């Protein structure tokens, strides 16, 4: 296989897995509370990431300088602890077809937070991108009833949008990190595990060992939180090699994920996909595309 073919294969595999996680969240939350799901998924993710590092022969990367170790441990408070507790609660309150597109606005949130935190300037094209994306949020959240402006579940919508703030902050603070990214992610999860366990004990208690709950949490932990990160990095690595096609070509595959996810939500979760969901998602994707164009054209 050529580098271009390898990049496309790993990229498509990652996008397909990402397309399944909204359905996996919703099905798992039928048997577990958000914090219980996070506890089991975090354990599964730690095992998966350890396996990835062992397969790559990079377990030694866990021996990082004290400064980097403390930094990665601190970032574990943002991801997975706060991010997934908030995201899973949003999925618990909202239909998957609403929570998934709303969470997809994280790229716009990242650009907004980059202005005060990274000193970046906002262009007119990026302002238009923000307007278009959040117009999609309003369409989805009101289920197309724009005149009455009554949100389907205000708390759920707020949590879904707030999760994008946590995710964007995690990536902004993670940009200066050195060392192997998979090892850093594993430290995030190892540091967050005691916090998640404490939150679970103080709220809903330990999860019961039901097979659907365990399988759902294992899937979320292994695929959503674990190996997809390594798969995506591998796709980008091959794309950046000679004749690999470039990272932009692979990055554009992300736009396939939310639409494929809606198909799976319909057939697996059983939700009737509303026209407002599709229309709002199109606006969010257009906003993300405009934001990327603004980034590429910036001096």
pLDDT for 252 equals: 75
HEC profile of 25-91: HHHHCCCCCHHHHHHHHHHHHHHHHHHHHHHHCCHHHHCCCHHHHHHHHHHHHHHHHHHHHHHHHHH
The whole-number pLDDT of residue 239 equals: 80
Q: Residue 297's pLDDT is what?
A: 47
Say what the pLDDT of residue 177 is. 67
Separation between Cα atoms, residue 100 and residue 135, nearest integer Å: 16
Position 246 scores a pLDDT of: 67
Radius of gyration from C-alpha coordinates of the chain: 19
pLDDT (tens place) for every residue of the chain, 299 residues total: 788 888 889 889 999 999 999 999 999 999 999 999 999 999 999 999 999 999 999 999 999 899 999 999 999 999 999 999 999 999 999 999 999 999 988 888 888 888 888 787 777 887 888 899 989 998 998 888 877 667 778 999 999 999 999 999 998 888 776 778 899 999 999 999 999 999 999 999 999 888 999 999 999 999 989 889 888 888 878 887 877 766 667 777 778 888 999 999 999 999 999 999 999 999 999 988 887 775 554 44
């Amino acid at each position: 296989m050529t580098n271009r073919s390898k990049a496309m294969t790993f990229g498509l595999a990652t996008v397909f897995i990402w397309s399944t996680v909204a359905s996996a969240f919703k099905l798992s939350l039928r048997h577990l509370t958000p914090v219980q799901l996070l506890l089991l998924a975090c354990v599964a993710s730690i095992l998966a990431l350890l396996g990835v590092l062992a397969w790559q022969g990079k377990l030694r990367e866990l021996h990082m300088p004290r400064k980097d170790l403390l930094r990665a441990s601190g970032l574990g408070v943002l991801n997975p602890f706060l991010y997934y507790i908030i995201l899973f609660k949003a999925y618990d309150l909202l239909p998957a077809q609403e929570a998934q597109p709303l969470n997809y606005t994280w790229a716009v949130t990242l650009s907004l937070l980059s202005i005060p935190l990274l000193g970046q300037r906002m262009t007119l094209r990026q302002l238009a991108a923000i307007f278009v994306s959040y117009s999609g949020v309003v369409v989805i959240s009101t289920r197309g009833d724009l005149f009455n402006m009554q949100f389907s579940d205000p708390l759920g919508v707020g949590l879904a949008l707030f999760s994008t703030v946590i995710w964007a902050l995690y990536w902004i603070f993670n940009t200066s990190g050195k060392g192997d990214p998979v090892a850093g992610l594993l430290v995030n999860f190892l540091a967050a595990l005691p916090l998640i366990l404490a939150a679970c004990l103080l709220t809903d208690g330990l999860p019961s060992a039901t097979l659907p709950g365990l399988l759902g949490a294992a899937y979320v932990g292994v695929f959503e939180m674990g190996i997809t990160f390594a798969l995506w990095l591998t796709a980008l690595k091959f794309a950046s090699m000679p004749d690999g096609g470039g990272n932009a070509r692979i990055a554009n595959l992300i736009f396939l994920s939310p639409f494929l996810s809606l198909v799976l939500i319909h057939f697996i979760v059983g939700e009737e996909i509303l026209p407002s969901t599709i229309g709002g998602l199109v606006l969010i994707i257009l906003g993300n595309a405009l934001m990327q164009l603004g980034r590429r054209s910036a001096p």
